[in-house]
């Protein structure tokens, strides 16, 4: 297709719900008809329902649905091949889709946290018992594959289109729970980790910074940033409905008490992602994590926080491991034999 048809193009993974849907709303509000929004989703039915909802809010919108399972390397490679064949450039790549595998609630941690650190209890995943040792069909840590490696592969495949715009942005949705203590380079896929979600989000931070440093060194016209949506009442974690509803009530109470991380809505949680995409590079630092925050009355704003304990050596080792895995999957990839994700 002729490049004249497209002004700006944004890809949002996990766009059919949660923070991904909020990102789509904010992008369409800001860019209007100038934007072509690519909703990169795994489930076609959910994706099309989300698309119809967005069109009901933004009738002018140009929206495409492209299917991809970010937890499957072949699906990501197939998706990336289709994107390169269809679109002339990419302005924004939002690496947002993710999973948190849980197998129950830690009632002891809930009681202790409620008594000793109620804010921390509702900001972290201490109350959730995460599933340990999950491996996907590629033989990779399941949470790491979906939250990190699939997006790393997508970024690497689409760097040419991102660079073509002269100011391509890669935005990684990290988390306020991400911390170096959850990550071990000897278990870089988080298979043995008791907190694979937190491990994967710290890996997102490491890859985002290391990628920006590489882009600068290679004079590639791309920048990579990491963000946190704060606390959003989403379906991630697959918790019982009653638990989700009870948490929402507590989140509102905490926000009224002045706890700024309690964004609650996906729309509020998405403000940092769009901020990192739109702000001039001179006002951003890839060493910061940009956090979505809300006033007690629900007005969203962005706060910048230096990523603590960033270790360049660890980041470079992680990049090396991801690159080797990416090249191995790419070498064995046969586009003709790969069907779209369902």
Q: CA geometry: angle at 284 spanning 166 and 204, to 5°? A: 85
Query: Does any domain span residue 339?
Result: no
DSSP state of 339: P
Strand ranges in the chain using DSSP code E only, listed in sequence order = 8-13, 35-41, 62-67, 92-95, 102-105, 128-130, 168-173, 222-228, 231-232, 262-264, 288-294, 300-306
Domain of 90 in residue numbering reads as 8-332
Task: Tell me: pLDDT of 305 over 80.
Answer: yes
| Distance, CA of 62 to CA of 124 (rounded, Å) | 37
Query: Which domain CATH number covers 112?
Result: 3.40.50.720
Query: Does any domain span residue 323?
Result: yes
Q: Place 11 in a pLDDT band, splitting at 50, 70 and 90.
A: very high
pLDDT score of 218: 95
Number of domains in the chain: 1
Task: Tell me: pLDDT of 163 over 60.
Answer: yes
pLDDT score of 204: 98
Query: pLDDT of 223-254, one tens digit each?
Result: 999 999 998 876 655 566 766 677 788 878 88
Question: Directed axis angle between helix 312-331 and helix 73-86, to 10°?
Answer: 80
Q: Higher pLDDT residue, 86 or 122?
A: 86
Query: Does any domain span residue 167?
Result: yes
Q: What percent of the chain has pLDDT over 90?
A: 76
Q: Place 257 in a pLDDT band, splitting at 50, 70 and 90.
A: confident
Task: Tell me: pLDDT of 1 over 50.
Answer: no
Query: Does any domain span residue 342?
Result: no
Mean pLDDT over all residues of the chain?
A: 90
Q: What are phi and psi of 125, to 5 degrees?
A: -105, 25
pLDDT score of 342: 43
Dihedral sign for Cα atoms in the order 136, 18, 163, 207: negative
Query: Does any domain span residue 3?
Result: no
Query: Does any domain span residue 57?
Result: yes
Both tokens of 110, joined, read 């809930």
| Distance, CA of 237 to CA of 131 (rounded, Å) | 10
Task: Tell me: pLDDT of 123 over 70.
Answer: no
Q: Higher pLDDT residue, 298 or 123?
A: 298
By mean pLDDT, which of 3-12, 140-149, 159-168 is the weakest?
3-12
Query: Does any domain span residue 338?
Result: no
Do the beta carbons of residue 179 and residue 124 sit within 8 Å? Answer: no
The mean per-residue pLDDT over the stretch 294-301 comes to 95
| Distance, CA of 43 to CA of 51 (rounded, Å) | 12
Query: Does any domain span residue 76?
Result: yes
DSSP state of 135: B
Task: Tell me: pLDDT of 113 over 80.
Answer: no
| Distance, CA of 239 to CA of 232 (rounded, Å) | 13
Q: What is the pTM of this model?
A: 0.91
Q: Place 166 in a pLDDT band, splitting at 50, 70 and 90.
A: very high
Nearest CA-CA partner of 279 in 199, 329, 223: 223
Q: Place 175 in a pLDDT band, splitting at 50, 70 and 90.
A: very high
Rg (CA), the chain: 19
Q: Place 107 in a pLDDT band, splitting at 50, 70 and 90.
A: low
């Amino acid at each position: 297709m002729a490049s004249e048809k497209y002004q700006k193009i944004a890809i949002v993974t996990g766009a059919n719900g949660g923070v991904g849907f909020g990102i789509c709303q904010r992008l369409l509000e800001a860019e209007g008809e100038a934007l072509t929004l690519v909703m990169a989703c795994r489930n076609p039915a959910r994706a099309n329902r989300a698309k119809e909802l967005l069109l009901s809010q933004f009738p002018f919108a140009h929206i495409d649905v492209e299917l991809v399972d970010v937890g499957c390397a072949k699906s990501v490679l197939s998706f990336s091949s289709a994107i390169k064949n269809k679109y002339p450039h990419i302005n924004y790549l939002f690496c947002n889709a993710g999973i948190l595998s849980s197998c129950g609630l830690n009632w002891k941690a809930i009681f202790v946290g409620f008594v000793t650190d109620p804010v921390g209890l509702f900001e972290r995943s201490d109350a959730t018992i995460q599933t340990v040792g999950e491996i996907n069909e590629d033989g990779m840590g399941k949470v790491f594959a979906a939250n990190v490696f699939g997006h790393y592969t997508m970024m690497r495949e689409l760097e040419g289109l991102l660079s073509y715009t002269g100011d391509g942005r890669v935005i990684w949705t990290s988390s306020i729970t991400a911390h170096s203590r959850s990550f071990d380079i000897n278990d870089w896929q988080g298979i043995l980790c008791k907190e694979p979600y937190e491990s994967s989000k710290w890996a997102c931070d490491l890859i985002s910074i290391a990628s920006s440093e590489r882009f600068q060194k290679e004079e590639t016209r791309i920048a990579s940033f990491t963000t946190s949506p704060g606390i959003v009442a989403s379906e991630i974690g697959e918790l019982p409905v009653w638990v989700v509803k009870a948490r929402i009530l507590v989140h509102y109470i905490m926000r009224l008490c002045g706890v700024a991380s309690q964004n609650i809505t996906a729309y509020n949680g998405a403000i940092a992602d769009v901020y990192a995409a739109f702000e001039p590079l001179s006002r951003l630092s890839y060493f910061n994590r940009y956090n979505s925050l809300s006033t007690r009355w629900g007005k969203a704003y962005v706060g910048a926080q230096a990523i603590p304990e960033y270790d360049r050596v660890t980041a470079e080792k992680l990049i090396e491991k991801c690159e080797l895995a990416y090249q191995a999957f790419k070498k064995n990839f046969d586009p003709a034999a790969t069907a779209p994700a369902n």
